[in-house]
């Protein structure tokens, strides 16, 4: 099994900058979430952040994708196309986005509620975030990708939710999607071995019902067949000797470059 690339310090620095742009998009779109907001409006916010930071979007135009963010409400698992449809009180929305700085990529996603949401919807978000935390903790030198997948799967299934198996995380660097695939399920001790300097985008996807999904006729939008709600969370992570570093969050609370 091929080893993951080890990034040089200047390459990691560029990925940190890209990650901070993604973090700012997350903060700006989260701040706009309320009943009546449209996902097209959230997409405009993301475009404004990218332009202000002098970055470029790695989603817009990717295999023909028509927007800067993926906006996936309720039973849409991933790849929702922004539209003028308004979000309602009690909805869930997953926002997935990325940015490119000096040719290096960042990619991250979050799921949030609109207004007051049901306890079960909140639990779905909480479990998604807990599974990501558990998975990231396994991204240390010497571990294998199966250790990550096992940790994520264990948290999700213990809560009674289902892991989406048809879509996975991935390597990231000069391209948004690089080998290897990183499933959100697996067995400890299996898969590629991690080393300091590896960069990965890990993204648990889970549903409140069955894990049977389908792609709509638009060629992008992926939904649960039974209409159950979904959650999607993601971070770009650097494997480091002193522990995993999440690249798609604010660096010390500052966006100074």
Query: What whole-number distance in Å separates Cα of residue 63 and Cα of residue 86?
Result: 26
CA 157 to chain centre: 19
pLDDT in tens for each of the 257 residues of the chain? 668 999 999 999 999 999 999 999 999 999 999 999 999 999 999 999 999 999 999 999 999 999 999 999 999 999 999 999 999 999 999 999 999 999 999 999 999 999 999 999 999 999 999 999 999 999 999 999 999 999 999 999 999 999 999 999 999 999 999 999 999 999 999 999 999 999 999 999 999 999 999 999 999 999 999 999 999 999 999 999 999 999 999 864 433 43
Phi, psi angles (nearest 5°) of residue 48: -65, -40
Task: Say if CB 113 and CB 125 are below 8 A apart.
Answer: yes
| DSSP designation for 93 | E
DSSP class per residue in 38-77: BHHHHHHHHHHHHHHTT-B-SSTTGGG--SSEEEEETTEE
pTM for this model (two decimals): 0.96
Count how many Cα atoms sit within 13 Å of the Cα of residue 52 in the half-sphere of its side chain.
Answer: 14
The per-residue pLDDT for 250 is 82
CA angle 76, 177, 219 (to 5 degrees): 40
Return the residue matching tokens 């990925």. Answer: 15
Dist. CA 212–CA 222, nearest whole Å: 10
**CA-to-CA distance for 152 and 87, rounded, in angstroms?**
29
Provide the CATH topology of domain 9-246. Creatine Amidinohydrolase (3.90.230)
What is the H or E stretch that residue 113 is in? Answer: strand 104-113
- If you write DSSP's letter for every residue of 211-251 in order, what string do you get? --EEE-TTSS-EEETT---EEE-BEEEE--TTS-EESSS-B
Q: Which two tokens stand for residue 64?
A: 């023909």
Q: How much is the pLDDT for 256?
A: 41
Q: In whole angstroms, what is the distance from residue 181 CA to residue 144 CA?
A: 13
Q: Where are the chain's structural domains?
A: 9-246
CB 149 within 8 A of CB 191: yes
């Amino acid at each position: 099994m091929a080893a993951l690339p080890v990034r040089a310090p200047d390459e990691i620095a560029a990925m940190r900058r890209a990650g901070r742009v993604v973090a700012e998009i997350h903060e700006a779109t989260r701040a706009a979430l309320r009943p009546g907001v449209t996902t097209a409006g959230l997409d405009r916010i993301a475009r404004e952040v990218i332009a202000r930071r002098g970055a470029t979007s790695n989603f817009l135009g990717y295999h023909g994708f028509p927007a800067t963010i993926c906006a996936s409400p309720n039973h849409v698992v991933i790849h929702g196309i922004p539209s003028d449809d308004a979000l309602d009180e009690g909805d869930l929305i997953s926002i997935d986005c990325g940015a490119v700085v000096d040719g290096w990529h960042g990619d991250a996603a979050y799921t949030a509620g609109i207004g007051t949401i049901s306890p079960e919807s909140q639990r779905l978000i909480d479990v998604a975030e807990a599974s990501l935390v558990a998975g990231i903790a396994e991204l240390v030198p010497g571990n294998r990708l199966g250790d990550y997948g096992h940790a994520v799967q264990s948290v999700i299934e213990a809560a009674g939710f289902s892991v989406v198996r048809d879509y996975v995380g991935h390597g990231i660097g000069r391209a948004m999607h690089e080998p290897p695939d990183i499933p959100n399920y697996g067995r400890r001790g299996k898969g590629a071995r991690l080393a300091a300097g590896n960069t990965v985008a890990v993204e648990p996807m889970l549903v409140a019902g069955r894990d049977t999904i389908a792609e709509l006729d638009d060629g992008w939008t992926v939904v649960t067949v039974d209409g159950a709600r979904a959650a999607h969370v993601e971070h770009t992570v650097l494997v480091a000797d002193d522990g995993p570093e999440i690249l798609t969050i604010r660096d010390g609370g500052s966006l100074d470059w």
